[in-house]
Chain A
Amino acid sequence: MTNPSDMRGTDEAAQLQAHSDPAENPVIASVLNDPSLSEQDLPQGDARAIESMGRSELLRRRFLRNRSAQIGMVVFALLVLLAIFAPMFYQYGPFERDLRNALSGPSAYHWFGVNERGLDIFARTMQGLRISLVIGLGTAVLTSFLSVVVGIVAGFVSSKGRWGALADGALVNLINLFLVIPSLLLLMLFSPVLQQRSWLWMIPLLALFAWMLTARVLRAMTQQLVRTEYVEAAKFMGVHPVVTMTRHILPNIASWIIIDTTLGVSGAILGETGLSFIGFGIQYPQVSLGTVLQDYNISAPYTWIPPAAVLAALVISINLMGEALRDALDPTSGASRL
């Protein structure tokens, strides 16, 4: 009896239920069992389809309707295909020297031209695109994982007594410490040591210095969620805190995490490119877009414009998708009409 003006007593409610129960009421039972009145006969119009649309379907439609999301997806897909297939059929490798044609512009043999050291720019750009994509995607996922763990734990324990507040304070100070540390300098310190092992070490390294701001936001969101009734109810029913976190808190902040992961890909690519550009990122047997840009020559613009354009297209397409995702998930934005 949710309506406060409904003053009927409990027996009346029992009576009402008896009336509407198909086992008790033969009229209702006959209607329910009548095959001619089943759902197939209902009109297959739009109204019914909209009514039954789930949240994910809604988000998918909103996202796909967005023009910038379409552009972003097409460009991103093209770049991924290029990164996968271009190095397979292109006749030059990223370290093959063609010194006879050194510092020559785009031609039928060297699509983007050749740089001062006789290296083919197209081959290098495509190989760099591969590396940058792998590092961007890997770092974004790992960063989100780190920030989710720290953010949710800090937000969840902050209201759990004195020890919880202490643990939360420690985590917040850890976040602040990582924000104060000049991350570029530490990346420059670590990176050459780890690059000697494998270029994939770049992923955890970049993630280690990128999780803080998201963790801060997620902590604040979790703190609000912990005070809601359903989390309180779960607590009093004796649900394990880990289950509460994954079942009740995580789904509520999932939209933010998805947006942040998408935008994190572009952030990681920019970070890796900058680091490689100054020579502290991806090292010799591998090549990244930053290393390709390193061989720039102002008097020969084709040495840097193609890799820069590929890099810009990659980052812009990812950012376009991220912003469209944000619009789709944010009900106050203009995209919220069906």
Chain B
Amino acid sequence: MIRFVSLRLLTYVILAFVATSFAYLLAASLMHPEEVLYPPIATQPIPPATAQMYLDVRNVNPDTPLFERYATWLGGLIRGDLGVTTGTNKSMVPVVQELATRIPISLRLVVLGTVIGTVLGVLVGMVSAVRRNSIGDRVSTFLAFVLLSLPTPVVILIVQQTNQGVMDLTGWGLPAINPINPLLAPGSWESISYQIKALVMPTIVLALFAAASYSRYMKVTTLDVLGSDYLRTARAKGLTRGRAMTKHGLRMALIPMGQYFAFAVGAAFTGSLFVELMFNWQGIGRFAVSSIGMADVNGTAGVVLYTAILTLLSATFADFLQGVLDPRIR
């Protein structure tokens, strides 16, 4: 078990490292922050030495070979330093600091959305497989089908428009933008309740997507399990249908699901990017969009590192879950 997990972990770490390096090299070769740092309309000519220092301190000097910049970045990575923001963002905030303020905002979305969506999807998928062709099964299958055919922005728009309609009718609604109300005193009950209310709609969107895809997979695996011999044996020895399903069936049906979990977290990151943009949350997704838009090489590499670590952790967690569920691996 430990050998299995550690071997997998090693592969994931290597993959994450290669992916991040690849992303850094791509970002550094495709983006040209030096073009936006000194626009040609500067009123006075800038001494070349100043310009060089300006670029060197941000590690984006095009005169330095690409691999030397990469080596500098790697050296910083080992010390836990991801460089400073570049591009049109001239404030030179350390990327680590920027990520540290933004990760909690994004992570609560991703974690809440994935966990609620997974639980909901597993339950719906199992029930609709056991009660096949019932009204509930047809409705949930149809809803999952429609939901998976819609792009994330459209689902967000539907949720926001519904909220707006309710607000127009009753005068009470959830806050549509911003996770925090800056007008309320931090730490007060109003501020906390506002934060909770602001979390509802984004979480609904992410959970819906996770639940839709999970319920479809779960239905397939549960249908496989339902026809198996051991479940018939469990029924034959006198267990009720529900007990046999929860004690023997659920576990086996969940084993193939473990592998989907890693993808679900990646999908939740993509979903949270749209959510953050459209609900105006200052999280990682918004940072990713803005740093690519501003030709911020270090910021982009930092975001890629974050997503690689997120995928790595969720993949390890999926393996761990599989090890716990599946007695054949242990």
List the interface of chain A (C-beta within 8 A of B): 173, 176-177, 179-182, 184-186, 188-190, 193, 266, 270, 273-274, 277-280, 290, 293, 296, 298-299, 301, 304, 308, 311-312, 315-316, 319, 323
Contacts and interface: CB of A to CB of B under 8 A. Distances in A.
Given A189-B27, A298-B164, A315 B273 contact: no
A105 to B, nearest CB: 15
B15 A176 contact: yes
Contacts of B30: 189-190, 193
A89 B26 CA distance: 44
Contacts of A180: 12, 15-16, 19, 308, 311-312
B300 A189 contact: yes
Given A177-B18, A182-B23, A319-B145, 19 more contacts: A180-B16, A181-B19, A181-B22, A181-B23, A182-B19, A182-B308, A185-B292, A188-B292, A189-B292, A189-B300, A274-B274, A279-B293, A293-B151, A296-B153, A296-B157, A304-B154, A316-B145, A316-B146, A319-B149
A274 B164 contact: no
A182 B152 contact: no
Interface string B286-302: 00110011000000100
21 contacts: A177-B18, A180-B16, A181-B19, A182-B307, A182-B308, A184-B270, A185-B292, A188-B289, A189-B300, A190-B26, A193-B30, A273-B151, A274-B152, A274-B153, A278-B273, A278-B274, A278-B277, A298-B164, A301-B161, A304-B154, A312-B150
A176 B263 CA distance: 12
B324 to A, nearest CB: 23
B303 interface: yes
Interface of B: 11-12, 15-16, 18-19, 22-23, 26-27, 30-31, 145-146, 148-154, 157, 160-161, 164, 176, 263, 266, 269-270, 273-274, 277, 288-289, 292-293, 300, 303-304, 307-308, 311-312
B176 A298 contact: yes
Contact of A177 (B15, B153, B176, B288): B15
Contacts of A181: 19, 22-23, 308
Contacts of A177: 15, 18-19
Most buried by A among B18, B146, B157, B311: B157
B220 to A, nearest CB: 12
Contacts of B18: 177
A273 B153 CA distance: 9
B149 A186 contact: no
A315 B274 contact: no
B161 A189 contact: no
A156 to B, nearest CB: 24
Contacts of B308: 180-182
A90 to B, nearest CB: 23
A166 B307 CA distance: 29
A186 B23 contact: yes
Nearest to B150: A312
B288 A270 contact: no
A293 B293 CA distance: 20
A141 to B, nearest CB: 20
A189 B19 CA distance: 14
Contacts of B150: 308, 311-312, 315
B11 to A, nearest CB: 8
Given A184-B270, A298-B161, A277 B19 contact: no
Contacts of A184: 270, 273
A304 B156 CA distance: 12
B300 A315 contact: no
Most buried by A among B31, B149, B160, B161: B149
A312 B16 CA distance: 35
A179 B265 CA distance: 12
B214 to A, nearest CB: 16
Closest 6 CB pairs of A and B: A182-B307, A315-B149, A308-B154, A316-B149, A180-B15, A181-B19
A327 to B, nearest CB: 13
Contact of A311 (B26, B154, B273): B154
B266 A182 contact: yes
A255 B18 CA distance: 35
A75 to B, nearest CB: 12
A276 to B, nearest CB: 10
A273 B300 CA distance: 22
Contact of B160 (A176, A298, A312, A319): A298
Contact of B149 (A182, A185, A312): A312
B292 to A, nearest CB: 5
A316 B304 CA distance: 32
A185 B23 contact: yes
Contact of B274 (A179, A277, A323): A277
